[in-house]
Structure 1
Amino acid sequence: MVHIPRWQVILTLLVLIGGIFFASPNLFKHETLQEVPGWVPKDQINLGLDLQGGSYLLLEVDVNSVFAEQAENLVDSLRPDLRREKLGYVELGTKGDDVTFQLTDPSDENIARARELLRNLAPESLITQSDGIFDITDSDAVKQRRRGSVLEQAIEVIGRRLNPNGTVELSIQSQGEDRILIQLPGVQNTEDAKRKIEKTAKLTFRFVDENANPGARSAPPGSEFLLADESDVSGGTQRYVIKKRVIVGGETLVDAQATFQDGQPVVSFAFDSSGAKRFGDATKNNVGRPFAIVLDDKVVSAPVIRSPILDGRGIISGSFTLDQTQELALLLRAGALPASIAFLEERSVGPGLGADQIRAGEFASVLGLILVIIFMAVTYGLFGLMANVALVMNLVLILAALSGLGATLTLPGIAGIVLTIGMAVDANVLIFERIREEAGNGRSPISAIDAGYRRALTTIVDSNLTTLIAALLLLQFGTGPIKGFAVTLAIGLVTSMFTAIMLTRLLVVTWLRRRRPQALGI
């Protein structure tokens, strides 16, 4: 452990220089950074809503439209099944959230067959029948469960859209049965966020009804009229007759990326194994038929299937700009909203309270740093001063990492940094105590330092790894402030491991080689 390869020395110095380089923008005002050359890093740590103010958005999710859509889907599924079973019917349709129809021959046998068919299609629904007239509805308990599921899915999708990298600390929570409250730290103009939120981004792949006339007054059963999307070459004026039956849904997408094809911006997508199989079967069995790509009830494109597409990958093309493809890819990766939403309220919050909290957090951080520095210097002398240098560089690396990630710092994040200050010297304390013990057993300075680092390494890795696992679990399953605390704690653990094992050891070994002491002042 006393011998340090040259590549480790170079790597350590490069990391330290890079940390200073990327942390330095936090020392300047945002206006000043706009005047520096483009190659200079300008990313600063974002402050959370509790520190710098921001915006609140209150949304309402149209949960009832989900029930109506499910009823329509049941009608579309029921129609071909009734025909296949040779069960005559009339007046098949929806009444509110219910599905109703009447058998033309309400014999006991036909009623029993229809009930069995309905139990398979809608196992959770309540089925009532009188004189061959069927009514299918959901119980209040089922509707309540689905309502909660829709709201939970909407919160998850909105979170992925606004925070795709997981580094911006947002607060997204439900209010009541159909409302969502969003806090956007530091955001005063919410137009960009609202645009990302309100787009449903529901992607489906369906066949074009070639036997229907797009100019007709009404679409045939099982089909509907849809207009071309504005990105279509027709400029959104062309009308298509599209089968209602969804061949592949956007929920089977596993990836979507903005890319280029023939010099034009497009969106490439990939299905999971289930979606790839359905997509492959559909294209293999329908070569020569037009296949519509439908986004939010608009036909993005309707290409003719030239050959089977069996790898589960495809391209969405149109008159897109690069920004549009990037936003569309983000929305598709985040997933479709389960229902449309409406913005009920928008409020801005000033940073007045945050100023007091920042001062309190700064005071706690500086006080903790000073006390730790004094303790290490008094307890371990020169070795403690080396650990203090590593501690300062540890804070610089944390700031650099938070700046580079564009992370948002809130009060829980400051608490994570204060905790990291105390934990950052923990590894050095273990090493120095081990060195002191080895020196007390009569070892030479070189042997004591080598044994101290070598024998303390396993303990350091174990202790920091267990804490890091806890931080990662908080980051994965926590929300809002908990994630902010977990981010700073996880980054602090990694940087403190680096400074303790690499930087402090480099300082100690450099001093040892130059001074060649006969005894260790530790």
Structure 2
Amino acid sequence: MKWMNYRFVLFLIAFIAGVALSLPSFLHLKEGPKITLGLDLQGGLHMLLGVDTKKAVESKIKSVASAIKYYAEDNDILIDELRVTPEGVTFKLLDNDDASKIEKFLQEQKGLEVKKEGLTYTVTFTPQEIESIKEYAIKQAVDTIRNRLDQFGLAEPTVAKQGKDKILVELPGIKTAEQEQRVRKLIAKAAHLQLMAVDEERQARVNQMTPEEAAEYGDVILKDRHGRKYLIKEIPILDGSMITDARVAFDQNNQPVINFTLNSQGAKIFGDFTAKNVGKRLAVVLDNVIYSAPVIRERIGGGNGQISGGFTVEEAHDVAIALRSGALLAPVYMEEKRSVGPSLGADSIKASMIALLSGFVLVVLFMIVYYGIAGIIADIALIANLFLIIGIMALFGATLTLPGMAGIVLTVGMAVDANVIINERIRELLRQGVSIRKAIEQGYKNAMSAILDANITTLIAAIVLYAYGTGPIKGFAITMSIGILASMLTAIVGTHGIYEALIEKIERSKNLNLWFGIKV
């Protein structure tokens, strides 16, 4: 067992682990970790979405109106004619003694312009605040869509801002029309939950009322899922921004419902409103559709509520995801859509495999011809390196894209480069007459600084690419990073361990041309 050493043992363990983790991907086994192929390799859905930022400003205006209404009620300030317009909020103060309190509250709100005529206030956003709301709406849409798709279970979807107000979405593995339709509905769903008061005084004549007449009373006409009309107070009691959680549950009839939880502010507003409105109805409105309008029997504390309305399990699951990930401040709409077929992905895989195999074969042959058995040892390390890259990516469920395969091809060259440096250092020492054992030890020692410098700088570049890149760039960075770390193990530790295991045989042979490709 003289040939055994810790470097060789580490190399063997890494090699076997790499092969074991790679086999499920290569053999398409049902069990075991497997690499997920990206959009460009397995096909999927490519979408370019636009964002209606004007709606975000209108939604924010309603939030300001809700805040004014709640503050006034909570502080016993009498206001009237509270109206929401596309430009802002107007209201009339009934008692001039309350002016200082309401004006102090408005001054504390960020980005508002307040105009006062007598006791009538007009509240609008500053131009800077409007631009800030629009920019935030786009950023929030990107984060929300990405969060929804992650919770949906899709493997590494690409969601990124493109241009000023566009969002790029790429979804690998979407192959059927049903999958596509479900994902598109999930992405586009505003998931804007509002708890709104029913106008009990005028509800009886809602069917004879026009939207314009309803607006005169500060109301809107909304329908439930069965087409029944309700007259609803336009300014909501609270909205989905105060939701902290939403989960699917089942009621006493075993029908899917969605239980939601409010934050502390929402819970207080909800509790105060229900306490003051016992016997009246509260409408649960999701994306301007009334799902239920139960009568308030008592004060509802704890900040918990429920949405019911004939959901399927799948619908309830998707709505809960949308509520958990947050409402879209601005609606998104489809600007461009195309499906990438599996056949195109197969062509990409074929072309990439040709490039990878041809590059690999040429490198292997060059190393054998130029370095002899030392080249074969380097090639063994290279094979181990490839298995380790595939195995580690499969273990962590990483997605392999076309740029990722390019990263593997590049890693092949970099992994061999380390052994080229080491072999050249060994050959230099052997030409100087240094003993084989000492030449190998000194060769590794002398080559180490150059190899470490090259690998560390490349690793830093890969980390930066991953941190600031998107989609395919991240895939390239991941394969590069794994390849660099794997090559440090195989090309440095592994080959050194093989030389230590074979050193006695090399010394007995004394055939430096056979072992290292040189004539001394």
Is the structural similarity TM-score above 0.5? yes
Give the corresponding residue for 2:132: 145
Deviation at 1:369? 2.4
Give the corresponding residue for 1:22: 24
Matching residue within 403, 408, 422 for 1:412: 403
Could you tell me how far apart the structure 1 residues matched to 2:114 and 2:462 are? 49
| 1:123-522 equivalences in 2 (<5 Å) | 123-163=110-150, 168=156, 170=158, 172-174=160-162, 177=165, 179-185=166-172, 187-188=174-175, 189=177, 190-201=180-191, 249=241, 334-343=325-334, 346-349=337-340, 361-403=352-394, 407-436=398-427, 439=430, 444-453=435-444, 456-457=447-448, 460-512=451-503, 516-517=507-508, 519=510, 521-522=515-516
Q: AA paired with 1:91?
A: E
1:91 and 2:93 aligned: no
1:118 and 2:136 aligned: no
CA contact (8 A) 2:19 2:388 kept: no
Q: How far does the alpha carbon of each residue in 1:94-132 deviate from its partner, in whole angstroms, 9 at most, with x for none?
A: 122410012335x6x8656644432213x3122222233
Deviation at 1:23? 3.8
* Secondary structure at the counterpart of residue 470 of structure 2: coil
CA contact (8 A) 2:4 2:501 kept: no
* Secondary structure at the counterpart of residue 99 of structure 1: strand
Could you tell me how far apart the structure 2 residues matched to 1:497 and 1:268 are? 51
Deviation at 1:382? 1.3
Deviation at 1:76? 2.0
Deviation at 1:12? 2.4
Distance 1:216 1:12, change over 3 A: farther
CA contact (8 A) 1:265 1:322 kept: yes
Q: AA paired with 2:46?
A: Y
Deviation at 1:81? 3.2
CA contact (8 A) 2:21 2:32 kept: no
Q: How far does the alpha carbon of each residue in 1:313-363 deviate from its partner, in whole angstroms, 9 at most, with x for none?
A: x99999999978976776566544334444466433457776776565444
CA contact (8 A) 2:81 2:90 kept: yes
Deviation at 1:455? 6.0
Could you tell me how far apart the structure 2 residues matched to 1:258 and 1:497 are? 48
Could you tell me how far apart the structure 1 residues matched to 2:248 and 2:388 are? 32
Q: AA paired with 2:17?
A: V
Give the corresponding residue for 1:77: 67
Q: AA paired with 2:121?
A: F
CA contact (8 A) 2:92 2:120 kept: yes
Matching residue within 3, 18, 22 for 2:5: 3
Q: AA paired with 1:489?
A: M
Give the corresponding residue for 2:211: none
Q: AA paired with 1:347?
A: R
Could you tell me how far apart the structure 1 residues matched to 2:77 and 2:270 are? 31
* Secondary structure at the counterpart of residue 174 of structure 2: coil
Could you tell me how far apart the structure 2 residues matched to 1:92 and 1:398 are? 63
CA contact (8 A) 1:169 1:408 kept: no
Give aligned-pair identity as a percent.
32
Q: AA paired with 1:39?
A: E
Deviation at 1:17? 2.7
Could you tell me how far apart the structure 2 residues matched to 1:83 and 1:307 are? 18
* Secondary structure at the counterpart of residue 31 of structure 2: coil
Distance 1:9 1:470, change over 3 A: closer
Give the corresponding residue for 1:28: none
CA contact (8 A) 1:248 1:278 kept: no
Could you tell me how far apart the structure 2 residues matched to 1:305 and 1:463 are? 68
Q: AA paired with 2:62?
A: E
Give the corresponding residue for 1:12: 14
Deviation at 1:4? 1.4
CA contact (8 A) 2:267 2:301 kept: no
Distance 1:321 1:433, change over 3 A: farther
Distance 1:268 1:77, change over 3 A: closer
Q: AA paired with 1:11?
A: I
CA contact (8 A) 2:7 2:497 kept: no
Deviation at 1:386? 1.2
* Secondary structure at the counterpart of residue 121 of structure 2: strand
* Secondary structure at the counterpart of residue 425 of structure 1: helix
Could you tell me how far apart the structure 2 residues matched to 1:270 and 1:423 are? 53
Q: AA paired with 1:95?
A: T
CA contact (8 A) 1:22 1:400 kept: no
Q: CA RMSD of the aligned region, Å?
A: 5.6
CA contact (8 A) 1:413 1:484 kept: yes
* Secondary structure at the counterpart of residue 337 of structure 1: coil
CA contact (8 A) 1:169 1:483 kept: no
Distance 1:39 1:52, change over 3 A: closer
Could you tell me how far apart the structure 2 residues matched to 1:166 and 1:435 are? 50
CA contact (8 A) 1:472 1:490 kept: yes
Q: AA paired with 2:26?
A: S
Distance 1:282 1:478, change over 3 A: same
Q: AA paired with 1:128?
A: K
Give the corresponding residue for 1:57: 47
Q: How far does the alpha carbon of each residue in 1:355-392 deviate from its partner, in whole angstroms, 9 at most, with x for none?
A: 77656544443443234324433443211111112223
1:39 and 2:27 aligned: no
Deviation at 1:409? 4.2
Q: Which has the higher helix share?
A: 2
Q: How many aligned residue pairs are there?
A: 487
Q: Under a length normalisation based on structure 1, what TM-score does the superposition of the two structures give?
A: 0.69
Q: AA paired with 1:365?
A: L
Could you tell me how far apart the structure 1 residues matched to 2:247 and 2:363 are? 47
Distance 1:172 1:86, change over 3 A: closer
Could you tell me how far apart the structure 1 residues matched to 2:427 and 2:256 are? 64
Unaligned runs of 5+ in 1: 26-32, 231-236
CA contact (8 A) 1:54 1:184 kept: yes
* Secondary structure at the counterpart of residue 372 of structure 1: helix
Could you tell me how far apart the structure 1 residues matched to 2:145 and 2:31 are? 33
Deviation at 1:499? 2.2
Unaligned runs of 5+ in 2: 207-216
Deviation at 1:420? 1.4
Distance 1:65 1:393, change over 3 A: same
Could you tell me how far apart the structure 2 residues matched to 1:89 and 1:284 are? 22
Q: AA paired with 2:86?
A: G
